[in-house]
Structure 1
Amino acid sequence: MSRASTTVLHDLSFSIARGDTFGIVGSNGAGKSTLLKVLAGIYQPTRGSLVQSVSSVSLLNLQLGFDENLDARDNIVLSGMLMGMSRRRMRELSDEILDYAELHISAAVPVRSYSTGMKARLGFAISKYSRPDVILLDEVLSVGDGHFREKAEATMRDMMMGEQTVVFVSHDSQRVRELCNRVCWLKDGRVQMIGPASEVIDAYEQYLVRR
C-alpha cells in the first residue's frame, strides 16, 4: 500500500473470520489507521487484493464521516444510507440512536458544534443500530466520558456474542486484550504477530518495555 510515494503497508496477509473481534495494535506510524481505511475501501492497495464476503462495512474514525453542517438526525439518515439502510428505517431508528448516544438535547444543532466525544458517541450509536456486517473502530473508545466508554464496551461484548465482526484499533493494549479475541501487531507497516489476544498483547508490551 503506497501513499504519496511512500509505502505504508508491506506484505500483509491475514483473514478475519465472521464474528471475530479483531484488534490492531502498534506504535504511532505503524500503519494501523491506513489498514482500517484499506479494509473500509477508502484506500485501494497498490499491490495484492482485498477479498470481502460482506455487504456492509462501517468505519468509525473521528477524522472522517459526518457532514458538519447537518444536525444529528440528518447525519443519522445520511450515515445509515451510506451503509445501505433506507431513509425511512434510519428515521425510525433516530430516537433510539439519540437515546443511546445521550444526545437528544443537542439533536437539532449542527454537528460542527459537537465535542469530539459527542461525535464519537453519535458515530458509535449509528453503527450499533444500523448493524453493518463489519464495524471498524479507530481509537473511538479513547474519547468521551467513562460512563459512555463502559456502555460502548458492553455493546462490543454483545457484538462478540453474535455474528457482527468488529475490528478495533487502539493504543490502549489492556482494552484490546479485554475486548478482542484475536490481535494483529503492526510495526513499520509489517505484521509482527497475529494470534490470540493475550499472546500478542504480552509480546507487544514486552517489546514496548525493551524499547
Structure 2
Amino acid sequence: MQVRELTHTTFKTLVFFSREACVFCVWENRRWLRYMMWFSRKWRILRKTGKFLLIFALVSGWLFSGFPQIWDNPRIPPGPRTAEAATTVIVLNFTQTILTAGTTTATWTVPSDWDNGSNTIEVIGGGGSGWADNTGAGGAGGGGGGAYAKATNITLTPGAAIDYQIGWGGATTSIGAFQVGAMNGGDTWFRAGVVGSSTCST
C-alpha cells in the first residue's frame, strides 16, 4: 500500500474547500432557520385569528338562537323575536243622511241608533237667482250661493218626527225694457223654533 505524503499546497487546498463547504452549509442552515421562524410566526397569527373567528361565530350563534338559556330575568341570551298581530282596532262607523227634497215643511224620523253626544247637523240655504239687464248699462250678474250653518251634539229622541225644510233657489227673472233684480233663495232649516237645538240657514 502506497502512502502519498500531503504537501503543504495540497493541505491548504483541502482546508480551503472544507471551509467553503462549512460556510455554505451554515448559510443554508441560517436561511432555512429564518424561513422556519417566519412560517412559525405566520402560523401563530393564523391560529389566533382562526380561534377568534371560531369563538365569535359560536357566541353569535348562541346569542341569536336563544338556546340554551342561562338566565331568566333578564333573559340571557335574549329569545328570538316572534311576529304578533296588531291588537289595536280603529272603527270608523257613522251614518250620513242627506235630505235634498221638499221645498215645504217635511218631517224626518230620528233613527234608533241616534247618539246625542256625537252628531252634526249642517244646512245650506237656497242660492239666489241672477239679475237681468236690457238697458245696455252692463252685463247681468249671477246669483249668490246659499248660506251655511251647523249645529253639533243635538239631543233628539229616537223615533221622534223632526220638522225640516230645504230652501228653494231664487225665482227666475225675465228681461223687459228695464233692469230686473235678482231673487233670494229660500230658507233651509232643521227643527226650527226649538230654542237651543235648531239649525237654520238663509
Report the TM-score range of the alignment, normalised by the length of the smaller protein: under 0.3
Structure ID, larger Rg? 2
- Larger RCO (CA under 8 A, 6+ residues apart): 1
TM normalised by structure 1 equals: 0.18
User: Comparing both structures, which one devotes a greater share of its residues to helix?
Assistant: 1
User: Comparing both structures, which one devotes a greater share of its residues to strand?
Assistant: 1
